Structure 1
Amino acid sequence: MRTDDMEMIIVFDNNTGDDRLLAMWGFSCLVKTAAGNWLFDSGSNGPVLLGNMNRLGLDPATVKWFFLSHPHWDHLGGLGSLLEKNPALELFLPQSASTHLVMDLRRLGATVTVIGERATAIGPGVFSTGVSGEPAEQALVFDTPAGGVMLVGCAHPGVHRLARQASSILGKKLLLACGGFHLFREDEPGIAKVIDELERVPVATVCPCHCSGEQATAMLAARYGKCCLPGGVGSQLVLAQVVQQARDGYR
């Protein structure tokens, strides 16, 4: 997958630097690729998700695939509203999603693939890490010539562990890890250890969002410098630009 064909737009997060957009606890990111658009998670509120997408000029009907990291309310809450606008979505859910949810979605006519523990190819150059940890979670991984791109919802298994899995699947470094790193309850030594592990993978650039926490975001910025990218609703990551930013400090 070419980096100049990829763009990521955060459409739901509890932080925003854009007064047009609503911030609310949760996470969702739209990924534009040449093959079509992915939506990673759906935040906690459907009207807020769709409202933010509308203000950003993003049509939910253009989304071809939906990927759910884990079935917590702050990542699943917008799915119903999304399906009302786009019932033809193809969904990739973790095996931790309830059987009732999967059955209800299939009754509505949705195409649902349930991902288990094994790493799984779900499209050309697109992978799930497989479900791991407790709470069980999967990460979405894109293979690009410049390195892997990994999206995480809350990184309950550990963002460094998911990054290692993603790197192992692709057999290459990670260009970017983006999403909720779930470090908001972690102390300073614990955060430092995770950052050390991310550098060992290695992960070239990071974009901490959602549940990453202010302290962890500040520590990541101190360690990664310009390779720590701003998150929040409305943030746009054009992969070709990320490659350029990372080039001098590529780990």
Structure 2
Amino acid sequence: MCEGGDAAEVFASAPRNAEGAAVDPIALQPVDEVRITTLVDNVFDALLTGDDRVTRADVGNGRVTAAQFEGGSTDAGLRAEHGFAALVTVRRGASTTTLLFDTGLSPDGMVVNADRLGVDLSEVQGVVLSHGHFDHAGGLAGLVGRGRRRMPMVLHPAAWTRRRLAPPRGEVFDLPTLSKRALEGEGFAVVERREPSLLVDGCVLITGEVDRTTEFERGMPPPHQAWTGSGWEHDPLVQDDQALVVHVRDRGLVVLTGCGHAGAVNIVRHARRLTGVDRLCALLGGLHLSGPAFEPVIPPTVAALTELAPDMVVPAHCTGWRAQHALAAALPGAWLPGSSGSTYRIAA
């Protein structure tokens, strides 16, 4: 669905069946700990409480000027917006590495929340984009504004695809499109990969294109369209959608999604098949189960995830309230509400 391209590229981006073990399995090195801090989510709830799995931000984050209060200031809490960004810190022995997975919607939302949480974005050693939709890449401008430029950025080559929403009745909305030229001009070392990538000395897996193997996860409805170079066509697959995977020693896989356009179950199956690790420890991130086109997918998704019996499920961003309720009811011991400023810790 990219502008230009040849037959080989079209073939490479086509969905395919995946049966049996991976032909080229990934030797994902186990880690001792992973911490995932949600810098941007659709929700900020200052009244959520933490436990041994999650630390919550409270309303006291972010003192701002406000003349109508005595003393001239108030506490602003954190921002919530229709987007997603997460800080991922992995520890193996004495070695610790921090990556940024997506950057939220607005140019300043992620950096404002990072400041209010006391997160130093100068420690980020690389950026991973789950896909090219603007609500996951908007915060790159704020990151650049902080002088964070000279770092690798891993994404799928279809992330540059021009896309739009063209409902049968309603105005066409052209989605803002990432500019490779602009990002490289800012100093990002852009790494385009369709295939899986191993980062952080083999401790972090970026899935690349996800095998579509379920019968019920069929992707985006017809209004979601992509420019082919000669016209607009239905883009159901969002082929650039990819996830981040970590293997926590003795616990299993931790899977982090942006929107989960490939389907939550497809993504988990793909991660298990690539790594040869059957145990799903945690699933976090957007699962894109909101709205009439996706609500029929909720029951089979919940059933499949219930069978996997993860220790932690944190649906975020575009999951939708119906799916949240269904997952909370089916997995009461594993489900945790998402919120900007929450840090989830999974340790060996």
Q: TM-score, normalised by structure 1?
A: 0.88
Structure having the higher Rg = 2
The residue number in structure 2 matching 1:135 is 238
Q: Shift of the alpha carbon at 1:188?
A: 5.6
Q: 1:159 to 1:138 in 2, by over 3 A?
A: same
Instruction: Give how far 1:31 is off.
Output: 1.0
Aligned residue runs from structure 1 range 39-78, under 5 A: 39-78=100-139
Question: Alpha-carbon deviation of 1:106?
Answer: 2.1
TM-superposition CA deviations, 1:129-170 (whole Å, max 9, x none): 112471120111112211111111111111110111111122
Identical-residue share of aligned pairs (%): 32
Match of 2:204 in 1: 126
Task: Give the unaligned 5+ runs of structure 2.
Answer: 1-29, 47-58, 60-76, 162-177, 211-218, 220-236
In the TM superposition, what whole-angstrom CA distance separates every residue of 1:98-146 from its partner, at most 9, and x where no partner exists? 2872333223322111121x22223322111112471120111112211
- Residue aligned with 1:46, SS: coil
Q: Counterpart of 2:149 in structure 1: which amino acid?
A: P
Q: TM-score, normalised by structure 2?
A: 0.65
Mapping of residues 91-240 of structure 1, within 5 Å: 91-98=153-160, 101-116=179-194, 118-123=195-200, 124-132=202-210, 134-136=237-239, 137-145=241-249, 146-172=251-277, 173-185=279-291, 189-201=296-308, 203-240=310-347
CA distance in 2, matches of 1:222, 1:205: 14
Contact kept? 1:182, 1:211, Cα under 8 Å: yes
Q: Which moved more, 1:146-155 or 1:82-91?
A: 82-91
What is the alpha-carbon distance in structure 1 between the residues aligned to residue 99 and residue 107 of structure 2?
Answer: 17
Matched AA of 1:149: V
Matched residue SS, 1:91? strand
Q: Which moved more, 1:146-155 or 1:30-39?
A: 30-39
Conserved in 1, the CA contact under 8 Å of 2:129 and 2:137? yes
- Aligned partner of 2:27 in structure 1 is none
Deviations 1:162-200 (A, max 9, x none): 111111122112211100000012566531101122234
- Counterpart-to-counterpart distance in 1, 2:97 and 2:197: 19
Q: Post-superposition shift, 1:201? A: 4.6
Number of matched residues? 239
- If each structure's helix is expressed as a fraction of its own residues, which one has the higher value? 1
Structure 1: gaps spanning 5 or more residues: 244-251
Question: Superposition RMSD on alpha carbons, in Å?
Answer: 1.9
Deviation of 1:64 (Å): 0.6
